[in-house]
Amino acid sequence: MFARSCRSGLLAQLVSVAVALATAVPSSSAQVVDVQVSLPDSVDAALRAARVPLSAVAATIVPLSGSGVAMSVNESQALNPASTMKLATTLAGLELLGPQYTWRTEALINAPVRRGVLRGDLWLRGSGDPRLVVEDLWLLVHAIRGAGVSEIRGDLVLDRSAFEPVVHDPGAFDGEALRPYNAGPDALLMNYKAVGFHFVPDAVSRQVRVHSLPLMAGMDVPATVKASDGPCNDWRAGLGGDFADPMRPQFRGVFPLSCGEKVWHVNLLTPERYAQAVFRQLWEASGGVWRGQVRGGTTPADARRIAQHESRPLAEVIRDINKYSNNVMARQLFLTVGAEVLRLPASDERARRVIGDWLVGKGLAPREFVLENGAGLSRIERLTTSGLARLLVAAYGSPLMPEFMSSLPLVGIDGTMRKRTAAAGFAHIKTGLLADARAIAGYVLAASGRRYAVVAFVNHPNAGAAQAALDALLEWVRVQG
């Protein structure tokens, strides 16, 4: 992340940073902050091998005990933080909404129910639940059945008024419109709007069975695909998926038996069409009758609630956001924060205003950040490593620290850091990955017993090759911090 030799100006900057850090955390006269003014050999070598110049790198290391090693490089330069931006969004959510915050999805009616027949429409009103998965929808369906409804004579009306309408192009970011991470935010987001095609090979029969989850009413999925020998490699390309007709997917290629079971998640359908297929399947599987359609609308003032699903608390939801870097969930939370603070329907502009004000209140200058969607799936979002490090320091001293830290991947154990080995078992680190950006941010417990906040960004066409340098930095902090 850094140059082996630092100019005198950088040295002076590091000394001033060390003094500031020493006064920003608990300290005593016996505690000393040592300033690292040159790169560890392993980090320097990895950067040179990746052909990444110092100007494309920013990093900040802060000892949380008040003593230890402090390091900074270009820490005031606002760079693209990729998915480490989720740390700002989730910490803001914890502080502004509270760890106990939940989302509610309601089923409402304003027509009579006689002998199990609802003689009118059924409204589903969402509040932006980031994790309304198919199991939750199944429970909601059975709660509606438990309220005495066995047949719906009207339509299923989706009330998304908690979020302002937004025109979303799923292919705008990277041209990958079918990737689930490109699904747009929605006040009534069902199961991330994703369909998972499961491929289950049988070496004895040399068949590959196919099924979809969730089951979708009206979707015709091939029962099998052709099997092949050889290495797994790019199995999706080998399958030759054709989704031109989303309700009749085709797989015209072959699937290698050596792959074992695999899942191909895709974002195929509009929200209305997705709700139609999922709700009808669940409703009819429960024994219910419904011949209507799905449409959008606003719940009438005289409607009464007959069933409700309440989400898991925010403290649990942020574990999915940070450990697995779920972009859709992060955007849902980002919008929710703005809506709840301002008590207005959610919009990106309102969320940017609320979280921007929160960042300034945490000590960041407006020049240190640019917000777009709070997920890091952005070409324009910016953050300084110094600013993010200050957030990490503040979080560590907060009563919310256990909830926040436990939401980060534990290196070598789970989440996006499950397969990484640097500082394995001793670091909670959020990763960031875009085509031209790599980032890490979180906490490292050093062999000395000191804990550090560590943030590093690389913005360069060769950023992908700089992962080894980021790993080397984590290991260096673990051993030498």
The Cα-based distances of 132 to 87, 102, 180, 193 in angstroms read 22, 12, 15, 10
**Partners of 295 in beta bridges:** 157
**Partners of 309 in beta bridges:** 105
* Coil/strand/helix, residue 353: helix
Give the pLDDT confidence of 430-471 residue by residue, as tens digits.
Answer: 999 999 999 999 999 999 999 999 999 999 999 999 999 999
Give the single-character DSSP code of 427.
Answer: E
- Identify the CA nearest to 63 among candidates 463, 453, 462, 465: 453
- For the entire predicted model, the pTM comes to 0.91
**Partners of 190 in beta bridges:** 132
Give the pLDDT confidence of 109-131 residue by residue, as tens digits.
Answer: 999 999 999 999 999 999 999 99
The mean pLDDT of 98-118, rounded to a whole number, is: 97
Tokens of 185: 């935010």
Angle at 237 between CA 234 and CA 242, to 5 degrees: 155
Cα 118 → chain centroid: 38
**Domains of the chain and any CATH numbers:** 8-99+315-480 (3.40.710.10), 104-172+181-189+269-311 (3.50.80.20), 196-265 (no CATH)
Give the pLDDT confidence of 216-257 residue by residue, as tens digits.
Answer: 999 999 999 999 999 999 999 999 999 999 999 999 999 999
Question: In the predicted model, is pLDDT for residue 69 greater than 70?
Answer: yes
Strands (E), 194-349: 195-202, 207-213, 224-228, 241-242, 250-251, 254-256, 262-266, 289-290, 294-296, 304-310
Alpha helices (H) along 109-149? 134-146
The mean pLDDT of 97-113, rounded to a whole number, is: 98
Average pLDDT, the chain: 92
